């Protein structure tokens, strides 16, 4: 297969971690007989330095013409970097928001996996964490409260702030379809999270999810109220496969799920449109405090590349080969500094990339 991948190194540790992900992808290509063509483009701080803006039309165009986008992370030290003295519309993050919008990326996929080898980092009690967990939060990314009409008015001598939460049936349907499609290639369970006891938008959410569920008889589904879901995530995280939810609930729950894994350097993510196209990036930021030191954990980016193979190219065996290789490296006791513990062997960012590559 020919894989046409737009590649955004980004800022801070971005170039280091993307280099390791490319190393792993190249090994997969050799082993399984694929051809990868990388189109390197600039975005974020690197684009500000080169072009004066965080995202150019040329970058958007190249991403649109590619099959998928692989990204490191963007941004700098928000207190000291000159990028943050610019108008907010010209800062690194504005580039990412504009890119997501231009590519119509409405579905955010955030896996939260507790690897048995790293269960010591999990802040939950051992009796809860020992079973491990492997869930994916499917968050709607372009609608709801964050994109509704907002204003602050003066009423009866005091200020009143108004934010609007709206969802249309079609917005709910397309994310629900994505959720059921992804569950179908995982453990076939969807937990749809809402606040249907209070919110009209949640009642519509529930109705549309039920309609979509009819097309996926092999996937079981349940509804759960968001407050209960927040509790269940720390009480019994192993019960979840795909959590399907709207923008703000997903924002909060995905961070909670990440924290429960305890390992920021291990968390992949993807944002997809209604085709197979997606932008794949680690959940963490550009870690300017450790940039250039070759100590960053590249595994979140490597796992994001595995997600890309799975969801954009249907290369499930290849994705599994990457995940198995990471499992082996962890079994053998190799750790970057962020996941280091007593008795383990500390390795650099590039050594971790080499170890995973060697085990494919
Ligand atoms: P961060 O995730 O970059 O770093 C938080 C802490 O985790 C730091 O101590 C960092 O060293 C550590 N860390 C993060 N990733 C690591 C890895 N792979 N290996 C080892 N340690 C790792 O968050 P922050 O410091 O709040 O943000 C730094 C910059 O990143 C900011 O400019 C922020 O806006 C940007 N950011 C970008 C994205 C993105 O590109 N999607 C996401 C979040 C933050």
pTM beyond cutoff 0.75: yes
Tell whether the model's pLDDT for residue 141 goes beyond 90.
Answer: yes
Report whether residue 93 contacts ligand 1, using a CB cutoff of 6 Å. yes
Report whether residue 74 contacts ligand 1, using a CB cutoff of 6 Å. yes
Between CA 242 and CA 263 the distance in angstroms is 20
Query: Which three-class secondary structure state does DSSP give residue 175?
Result: helix
Would you give the distance in Å from CA 360 to the centre of its chain? 23
Instruction: Clarify whether 61 is annotated catalytic.
Output: no
Quick one: which atom of ligand 1 is closest to the CA of 72?
A: 40
CA dihedral 332, 333, 336, 339 (to 10 degrees): 130
Between CA 279 and CA 287 the distance in angstroms is 20
Q: Which residues pair with 303 in a beta bridge?
A: none
* Distance from the alpha carbon of residue 13 to the mean position of ligand 1, in angstroms: 9
Q: Which of 61, 163, 227, 331 is catalytic?
A: 227
| Atom 38 of ligand 1, nearest CA residue | 285
Tell whether the model's pLDDT for residue 119 goes beyond 90.
Answer: no
Is 351 within 8 Å of 19 (Cβ atoms)? Answer: no
Is 283 within 8 Å of 256 (Cβ atoms)? Answer: no
| Atom 9 of ligand 1, nearest CA residue | 287
* Distance from the alpha carbon of residue 285 to the mean position of ligand 1, in angstroms: 3
| Atom 12 of ligand 1, nearest CA residue | 287
Would you give the distance in Å from CA 49 to the centre of its chain? 26
* Distance from the alpha carbon of residue 286 to the mean position of ligand 1, in angstroms: 4
> In a 10 Å sphere around its CB, with 0-12 CB exposed, 13-18 middle and 19+ buried, how is residue 341 labelled?
exposed
Instruction: Clarify whether 255 is annotated catalytic.
Output: yes
Listed in order, the ranges of the chain carrying CATH 3.40.718.10 are 1-106+268-360, 123-260
Q: Dmax over Cα atoms in the chain, in whole Å?
A: 70
Q: What is the pLDDT of residue 263?
A: 85
Q: What is the pLDDT of residue 226?
A: 98
Neighbours of 199 (CB within 10 A): 15
* Distance from the alpha carbon of residue 173 to the mean position of ligand 1, in angstroms: 33
Residues 52-85: pLDDT tens digits?
A: 999 999 999 999 999 999 999 999 999 999 999 9
Closest CA to 251 of 143, 104, 93, 179: 143
Instruction: Clarify whether 227 is annotated catalytic.
Output: yes
Q: Give the number of C-alpha atoms closer than 13 A to the C-alpha of residue 261, restricted to the C-beta side.
A: 26
Report whether residue 255 contacts ligand 1, using a CB cutoff of 6 Å. no
| Atom 43 of ligand 1, nearest CA residue | 285
Structure token digits, residue 154: 């003066």
Edge-to-edge strands, sheet with 68-73: 35-41, 2-10, 68-73, 278-282, 268-272, 107-114, 133-140, 242-245, 189-194, 220-225
Residues 244-268: pLDDT tens digits?
A: 999 999 999 999 999 999 888 999 9
Would you give the distance in Å from CA 277 to the centre of its chain? 14
Kindly state which CATH superfamily the domain 1-106+268-360 is placed in.
Isopropylmalate Dehydrogenase (3.40.718.10)
Q: Find all residues with CB under 8 Å of 317, minimum gap 6, and list them.
A: 32
Closest CA to 46 of 57, 34, 32, 56: 56
Query: Which three-class secondary structure state does DSSP give residue 1?
Result: coil
Report the range of poorest mean pLDDT among 10-19, 140-149, 297-306. Answer: 140-149
- The CATH T-level fold of domain 123-260 is Isopropylmalate Dehydrogenase (3.40.718)
Residues 4-45: pLDDT tens digits?
A: 999 999 999 999 999 999 999 999 999 999 999 999 999 999
Q: What is the pLDDT of residue 58?
A: 97
Q: Find all residues with CB under 8 Å of 75, minimum gap 6, and list them.
A: 10, 11, 12, 44, 45, 83, 92, 93, 285, 286, 288
What letter does residue 84 receive in the DSSP assignment? G
Report whether residue 284 contacts ligand 1, using a CB cutoff of 6 Å. yes
Between CA 18 and CA 84 the distance in angstroms is 24
Report whether residue 338 contacts ligand 1, using a CB cutoff of 6 Å. yes
Residues 327-356: pLDDT tens digits?
A: 999 999 999 999 999 999 999 999 999 999
Quick one: which atom of ligand 1 is closest to the CA of 77?
A: 32
Q: Find all residues with CB under 8 Å of 99, minimum gap 6, and list them.
A: 43, 55, 59, 60, 63, 279
H-helix or E-strand spanning residue 7: strand 2-10
Q: What is the pLDDT confidence band of residue 284, given thresholds at 50, 70 and 90?
A: very high
Q: Which of 115, 195, 311, 334 is catalytic?
A: 195
């Amino acid at each position: 297969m020919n894989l046409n991948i737009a590649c955004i190194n980004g800022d801070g540790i971005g170039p280091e971690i993307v280099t390791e992900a490319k190393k792993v992808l190249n090994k997969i290509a050799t082993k399984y007989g694929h051809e990868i063509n990388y189109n390197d483009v600039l975005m974020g701080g690197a684009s500000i330095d080169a072009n004066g803006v965080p995202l150019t039309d040329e970058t958007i165009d190249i991403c649109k013409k590619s099959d998928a986008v692989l990204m490191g992370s963007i941004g700098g030290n928000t207190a000291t970097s000159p990028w943050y003295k610019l108008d907010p519309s010209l800062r690194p993050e504005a580039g990412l928001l504009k890119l997501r919008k231009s590519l119509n990326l409405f579905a955010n996929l955030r896996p939260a996996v507790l690897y048995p080898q790293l269960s010591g980092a999990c802040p939950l009690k051992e009796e809860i964490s020992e079973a491990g967990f492997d869930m994916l939060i499917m968050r709607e990314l372009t609608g709801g409260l964050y994109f509704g009409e907002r204003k602050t008015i003066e009423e009866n001598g005091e200020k009143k702030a108004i934010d609007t939460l709206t969802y249309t049936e079609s917005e709910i349907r397309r994310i629900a379809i994505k959720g059921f499609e992804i569950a179908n290639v995982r453990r076939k369970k969807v937990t749809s999270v809402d606040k249907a006891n209070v919110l009209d938008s949640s009642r519509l959410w529930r109705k549309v999810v039920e309609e979509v569920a009819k097309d996926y008889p092999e996937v079981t589904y349940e509804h759960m109220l968001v407050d209960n879901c927040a509790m269940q995530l720390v009480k019994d995280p192993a019960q979840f496969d795909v959590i399907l939810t709207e923008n703000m609930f997903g924002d909060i729950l995905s961070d909670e799920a990440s924290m429960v894994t305890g390992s920021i350097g291990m968390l992949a993510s993807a944002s997809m449109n209604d085709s197979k196209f997606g932008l794949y990036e680690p959940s963490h930021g550009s870690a300017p405090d450790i940039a250039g030191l070759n100590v960053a954990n590249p595994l979140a980016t490597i796992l994001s590349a595995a997600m890309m193979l799975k969801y954009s190219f249907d290369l499930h065996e290849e994705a599994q080969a990457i995940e198995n290789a990471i499992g082996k490296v962890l079994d053998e006791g190799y750790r970057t500094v962020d996941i280091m513990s007593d008795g383990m062997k500390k390795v650099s960012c590039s050594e971790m990339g080499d170890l995973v590559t060697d085990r494919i």
